[in-house]
Amino acid sequence: MSASAPASAPVPRALVALADQPRVRDFLANALAEGRLSHAYLFEGAPGSGKHEAAQALAQCVVCPSGGDATCDECRRVAHRTHPDVHWLAPASATGYLVDQVRELIADAALAPMRAPSKVYVLERAELLRGAPANALLKTLEEPPEGVLFILCARTTASMLPTIVSRCQRVPFRVTSASAGVDAVRRACVATEAEARVALAVAGTPGRAVEYLSSPARRQVRRLVVDALDALGRDDSWDVLLAARQIVDAVAVPLADVRQAQEDALKETQDFLTSAALKQVADANKRELTARERSGMMEALAAAESVLRDVLTRVEGAGAPLVNEDATAVVDRLAARCDARAPLAALAAVSRAADDLAHNVSPQLTLEVMLLSVKEALACPPSSR
């Protein structure tokens, strides 16, 4: 990617969402306008830098008949991850991608698209594409099928196969400052500064923060997390387990719409698919629902982490403003009964929970263990009935 990519090309509406990454936005807009889109991109940057939002936006531009208007049925399907020609892949194991995953991708890439003129494959956590799976994909990257676009999203290229990296157009992403993120959220939707800060703390990037603010169900998850933390001082272990169940159930609420969209999309295409293809679609849909549940759980953990960091700020008397202004009373109650070691231990419990989710521990068990560990860390003694 050029360090001085010009901004002369008109920006498709789908790419406008990348306002916090103007160099990336303009680079992709120019490539689209000049008809020189690469067959493979490597989006590289830290978590929260907007790689996945950019992958979605570029996919919309590729499959949309209007070049990425972000409003048509094709673009909405991409946003909901139900478009049959836009495939999202994540490592199927805790250690990385599996050879069978890559072989399925290669076989599917050779098939004609179902709805759009092109097909898009987005590989999340591409730094975990190693060994045999990486070598299996290399041949396809060297000789890509006509009308197929690969987007690899990686935190770093340090552990990636150099030949994989060399076959892709590298696009670096930078993490925006907190103030720039807040400004980006407030430009994109109606939100107060306090609401934007909370949304960024929970969702991670301006694009996801805007989606979070527009979702009452996702905001309810955060409210349940705050309430659960507030109640730790008076709840016994059974109450904590019930609170964990409430949060997990709330995370599942938005999945109903995704499941319905998947079923609707399948009804439109099932008459044209073989039994093997139907199984591939079913497996892909299942993986998508699992990934979305994990994403919702990660937002719940991020909400807990944000509150606990505010508690640490209070305990240390740093004087910095709280992120969770609407939960100031909760933060003060938690901070009143502990020293600085307590929130640090609680934050470590949240970090362990995130690691457990990454290793496919069940969301319910993960949250139960985390809340009980946070309760112990904050020195909330067990209560009796």
Side chain identity, residue 358: A
Q: What is the pLDDT of residue 279?
A: 76
In whole angstroms, what is the distance from residue 319 CA to residue 322 CA?
Answer: 9
Q: pLDDT under 50 in the chain at which residues?
A: 2-7, 383-385
CATH topology of domain 13-172: Rossmann fold (3.40.50)
Beta bridge partners of 119: 148
Q: What is the pLDDT of residue 238?
A: 94
Q: What is the pLDDT of residue 374?
A: 96
**Are 367 and 247 contacting, i.e. CB atoms less than 8 angstroms apart?**
yes
Q: What is the pLDDT of residue 172?
A: 93
The alpha-helical segments, DSSP class H, found in 143-274 are 162-166, 178-188, 193-203, 206-213, 216-231, 237-252, 255-269
In whole angstroms, what is the distance from residue 350 CA to residue 370 CA?
Answer: 6
Q: What is the pLDDT of residue 345?
A: 93
Distance of alpha carbon 362 from the chain centroid? 18
Q: What is the pLDDT of residue 175?
A: 72
Name the residue ranges covered by the structural domains of the chain.
13-172, 215-377
175 class by beta-carbon count within 10 Å (0-12 exposed, 13-18 middle, 19+ buried): middle
